[in-house]
Every structure is written in structure tokens, then in C-alpha cells.
Amino acid sequence: MRLAPLPPETLSPELREVHDGIVNLVANSQEHIVMLDAQGALIGPFPALLHFPRFGIPAALFQRSLNTQARLPNRLRQVAILAVGASFGARYELYAHEITGTHAGLRPAQVATLASGGRPNDLADDESIAFDVTKCLLDKHVLPNSTYERAIQLLGKDGVGELAFLIGGYSLISILLNCFDVPIPGIDL
């Protein structure tokens, strides 16, 4: 780990408000994931956001909007997020979303396949296209027209737009996690 978590009592009032807002949001939506250390400081991607607030606070607001404004089903979102995490090899993202994906209704075998970069053969059609769009954008950086048209057919224009922002947002999180070598909680790597 290249950035130490910031204990909440050491933060400026502005950053403490951001910290506490993230803690409250996470407590309500992802209580099953370890996101605080023993001192109550945020771990995972959050130290990067707090160490570099000029960029981190707008990034945190963007991530929050991806979660609070979501219209796509959570299972589909988790398929895309796990595909992003696998593409980048982002350990903490995979840790968090393997748990979240299971809570969203993905079976353990599906989660394991997605986390290893594969496409489960038993996904619903909308989940399959979400995986295909994610893989195309991350691996080839171009979305073929046929894939785009199929995505529009299954997800609608707004759904495809949301998916693109979701992929971009979690790509940013993966990059931060990898840049600052964020480990899985409780495991020294």
C-alpha cells in the first residue's frame, strides 16, 4: 500500500465531511465489505480520493452519482464492475464486488468466472451484453456497431449511456487501486 489511510480526526473539516459522507453511504449500501481500518479511516480507493482532494472529491461525487442515480439492475451492474476489476486486476475492487455481486444475486460460479475475466454462459441477455460491451471497450477500446445496436435493443439508449459511465467510473477506481497498490483487507501482499 502506497498511501496510508487518513484517520478521520486528522482531516480538515471539509475533508472530514467528505469522509463521513462516504462512510454513511457505504454503511447503507455495502455494509458487508471492510472499508474502514481499526482507526476508523477509510481504506480501498478512498485514501487516494482524500489525499488528492482537488481531483478526489469530484471523483467521489461522480462515483456517488453512479450509485445513487443507477437505473440498471444491480446484477447487471455487478457483471460490468467485475469485468472491469478483472480487466485491470484490481484486487480490492474484485474483493468488494465479488461480495456485492453475490449479494446482488449472482451465483458463486458466475462471480468466480467474471472475477477471472471470463463470461459465464448462463447470464441473462442484458447481463451478457453488459459483459460484451465492457470487454470490447476495455480490451479493444472500440465498440462495434453490432454490439452497440444489440445493447440499445436490450438496455435502451439511457441504459447504454449509464453502462458507459459505469465502466469509465470503475476503470478510474481500478487505476487508483493499482497505482497505490491497495491490498485486500486483512491480507498483506
Confidence grade of residue 26 (pLDDT, cut at 50, 70, 90): confident
Quick one: 21 and 114 in the same domain?
Answer: no
pLDDT at 180 over 80: yes
Quick one: 89 and 129 in the same domain?
Answer: yes
Answer yes or no: is 167 within a domain: yes
43 is in which domain, residue-wise? 8-68
Answer yes or no: is 171 within a domain: yes
**pTM, full prediction:** 0.95
Q: How many domains does the chain have?
A: 2
Q: What is the pLDDT of residues 136-150, one digit of tens each?
A: 999 999 999 999 999
Quick one: 121 and 35 in the same domain?
Answer: no
Q: Which of 47, 68, 89 is the last residue of a domain?
A: 68
Answer yes or no: is 2 within a domain: no
d(CA 176, CA 180): 6
d(CA 82, CA 94): 6
Confidence grade of residue 78 (pLDDT, cut at 50, 70, 90): very high
Answer yes or no: is 187 within a domain: no
d(CA 102, CA 56): 28
Answer yes or no: is 3 within a domain: no
pLDDT at 97 over 50: yes
Quick one: 61 and 81 in the same domain?
Answer: no
CB 158 within 8 A of CB 152: no
pLDDT of residue 189: 46
Q: Which of 68, 97, 120 is the last residue of a domain?
A: 68
Mean pLDDT, the chain, whole residue set: 95
Q: What is the pLDDT of residues 141-177, one digit of tens each?
A: 999 999 999 999 999 999 999 999 999 999 999 999 9
